[in-house]
Structure 1
Amino acid sequence: MPNECNCHQRRVHFERTDAARGLSRRKARQGEIILKTKWSRAIFFAGLFGGIVLMAAVAIYLGIFG
């Protein structure tokens, strides 16, 4: 029938491509941030801090905090 759902076929295809990459579907969804070196930690936290400073500067400029 042309209107049959092929959801199972799609799921199997995605599982195969994930397995080919070496990741299970569960591990791929975890979103774990791995900061092993000092430089990667410094860049990550500098970006977080910079974003907060930028938001505060824009808020002061727009007159929300000032």
Structure 2
Amino acid sequence: AIFGEKAREVRDTSLKVPHGESGIIVDVKVFSRESGDEMGAGVNQVVRVYIAHKRKISVGDKMAG
């Protein structure tokens, strides 16, 4: 809390992984209009989160070596 200031209206706009999904975050890329990236109308910033999933090897998976 910052003393001497009124509490601002804050809305949680966090995106969550859907139920039943899990994984490890591999990479996070942030694109913004300020850094010169092309954006659609009304979009100021795009954050892309890449999630890796672990799964068992199944028949038909290609293996090196």
TM-score (norm 2): 0.21
Bigger share in strand: 2
Tell me the TM-score normalized by structure 1: 0.21
